[in-house]
Amino acid sequence: MQRSNLFGISFTVTNYEELTTDIFNRINSSGSPRGAVAALAVHGLMEAYNDQAFRAQVNSFDWVVPDGQPVRWALNYFHSLQIRKRVYGPALMLHLLQRAAETGVSVFLYGSKAATLTLLEQNLKKKFPSLLIAGVQEDRFRESTEEEKKLDRETIIRSGAKIVFVGRGCPRQEKWVADNREHIPAVLVAVGAAFDFHAGTVKQAPRWMQDNGMEWLFRLLQEPRRLWRRYVVTNSQFILVFLSHLLRIK
Q: Answer yes or no: are the C-beta atoms of 160 and 106 closer than 8 Å.
A: yes
d(CA 155, CA 153): 5
d(CA 11, CA 44): 12
CATH number of 2-200: 3.40.50
In tens digits, what is the pLDDT along the chain, a chain of 250 residues?
A: 899 999 999 999 999 999 999 999 999 987 778 999 999 999 999 999 999 999 999 999 999 999 999 999 999 999 999 999 999 999 999 999 999 999 999 999 999 999 999 999 999 999 999 999 999 999 999 989 999 999 999 999 999 999 999 999 999 999 999 999 999 999 999 998 999 999 999 999 999 999 999 998 998 898 888 888 888 899 999 999 999 999 886 5
Q: Answer yes or no: are the C-beta atoms of 48 and 55 closer than 8 Å.
A: yes
Count CB neighbours of 103 within 10 A. Answer: 13
Q: Answer yes or no: are the C-beta atoms of 36 and 60 closer than 8 Å.
A: yes
B/e letters for 29-52, b = 16+ CB within 10 Å, e = fewer, are eeeebbbbbbbbbbbbbbbbbeee
* Alpha helix segments (H runs only) across 142-214: 146-159, 172-180, 194-199, 207-211
Domain boundaries, the chain: 2-200
The alpha carbon of residue 225 and the mean position of all alpha carbons in its chain are separated, in whole angstroms, by: 23
